[in-house]
Amino acid sequence: MANKPIPPFRQVPSQEFGLQKVKYIIANNLSHEERHDVLKFIETIGKRDIIGLTPISISTRILEYFTPKELVALRLVSRTWNKKVTHDSLWRKICISYSIVPSDLIIQDTLVPIFHNLFQRCLNMTSHWKTLKCKRVELKYHKGPVLSLLIANPTRIFTGDVDGRIHVWDAENEAYVKTLVAHQSHVVCLASASKYLASGSSDTTVVIHDMASLRKTAVLLGHEGPVTSIAYSKQEKNILFTGSTDRTIRIWDTDTNECIRILYGQDNTISSLVYCMTFPKEYCLNEQDTYSVTHNRAGYIISGSSDRNIYIWDLKGCIKTEEPNVLSSIMKKDGPITALAVYNENQADCRQNFMTIPTNEYVCSRAPINIPTFIAFCTSSDKSISVYSLPGFENTFVETPNIHRSTIWSISTAVIHSKLITTSGDRTAIIWDLKSPKTSLTLAGFDSAVISSAVSPQEELLCFGTEKGTIVLFDLMIST
């Protein structure tokens, strides 16, 4: 090839990169023959499958420059590309960047692409909470109404039957696991802690099962009437609260199966119990509430009763050594309390990794809305819910769109996704989006009154129970 003086290189404007810069270099620095050789070389390279032939460590570095949406399209190139594009070394970093998993998560490599599947399921959940157009399963094995529902995790869904049995369902594998013969009569309420499952019944007993083995470990006696409500402490996982028609709240230590305390004060059936770990101090409006929140270490119990009263019990510094007292209360004139729930953003874990872009759709759907902790409840004659901020029971004057045509039987919260769910005798459930206060989604098609509901801890499952014994399960991670 003849030598030819190289013309001076023209400066490329600083804003021009990539292909444009390559064109400038070739045009200004190569002869005609040299350009021809470069094009032949590029043509040869272009016939090789660079992604398919390079080691996974190198192909991952290349594929990191693509967005998740582009990577999904690249899976269709070939089977080899599909394996490279769905490899955990690539999607683990993406899951961390979206705060789907913590940045310090360590997991052994497997043949199954765990992180790609996890990313897809989590993004599905984000969109399905807006539309509920997800996988829906109906289960029919109850002898009577589904009086109680509990989702401990995707492999442990518990439902209480009228014959004293507790049914256990594995939603992840769509399998019926076991029947627990727990009581002699209706299983009215269920609660769980890390290693315990507790159930309350109209036979006046509370039964404790081991969560792992599902073996009955204790029967707690003491209530003089049916047990109607139950809740575990989130502070001390062995502390259990039970309410009854005998108008008392009993506090139990399920490690020793002893009754620690009995709380008196309400004049009728304790229909609802909810444990709340704390209240934000900035929303306290008087010195009494501020002092209580500052010094409280054991949490609070909110109790609703057929006497139309709702009490907040201050458990103070230690349940075992200090006597709880009523911090505040409110009375409704419309009838007995039929459903009660507490919406508390402090109990939701929505932590973000430091490298997460706050505008990605997964993070936005889980971002807190920074509102005061509030209580949502209704009475037997209400067709909509009442909302009051806590701990002072200040009226929020929020007009809720959850308006039913019959009695509201249950209220559940999905705090991570800012949702409130109500069910009613009108055969519907309504999901209220708190990020858009006037927006709600009505679910119909139930075979009878919807009398119970539950949301899984990570909010990937939503479950309803009907008067005719049908369980309706929505898997928000799987599309229809």
H helices of 336-410, where?
361-366
Q: Tell the residue number behind the tokens 């679910």, with chain if given.
A: 443
pLDDT of residue 284: 87
pLDDT value at residue 148: 96
Say which residues have a Cβ less than 8 Å from residue 242's Cβ, sequence separation at least 6. Answer: 198, 200, 206, 220, 223, 227, 229, 230, 249, 250, 252, 273
Q: What would the DSSP string read from start to end of 5-37? A: PPPPPPPPPTT--THHHHHHHHHHH--HHHHHH
Q: Where are the beta strands (DSSP E) in 12-161?
A: 134-140, 148-153, 156-160
The number of CA neighbours under 13 Å toward the Cβ of 461 is: 25
One-letter amino acid at 318 equals: C
Task: Please give the biggest Cα pair distance in the chain.
Answer: 107
Strands laid side by side in the 429-433 sheet: 408-414, 419-424, 429-433, 439-443
Helix (H) or strand (E) holding 342: strand 337-343
Q: At what angle do helices 88-97 and 56-63 cross, to 10 degrees?
A: 30
Q: pLDDT per residue over 21-71, tens digit each?
A: 666 776 777 787 877 777 777 677 666 777 888 888 888 888 988 989 899
Rounded CA gap, 22 and 12, in Å?
10
Handedness of CA 15, 18, 23, 24 (dihedral sign): positive
Other CB atoms within a 10 A radius of the CB of residue 268 amount to 14
Give the H/E segment covering residue 304: strand 300-305
C-beta separation of 157 from 168 below 8 A = yes
- What's the pLDDT at 299? 93
Tell me what pLDDT residue 7 has. Answer: 45
Cα–Cα dist 231/254, whole Å: 12
Q: What gap in Å lies between CA 307 and CA 347, rounded to an integer? A: 29
Q: Low-confidence residues of the chain, pLDDT below 70?
A: 1-23, 26, 42, 45-47, 106-111, 348-358, 397
What pLDDT does 6 receive?
A: 41
Is residue 160 classed as helix, strand or coil in its secondary structure? strand
Check residue 376 and give its pLDDT: 93
Handedness of CA 139, 457, 399, 381 (dihedral sign): positive
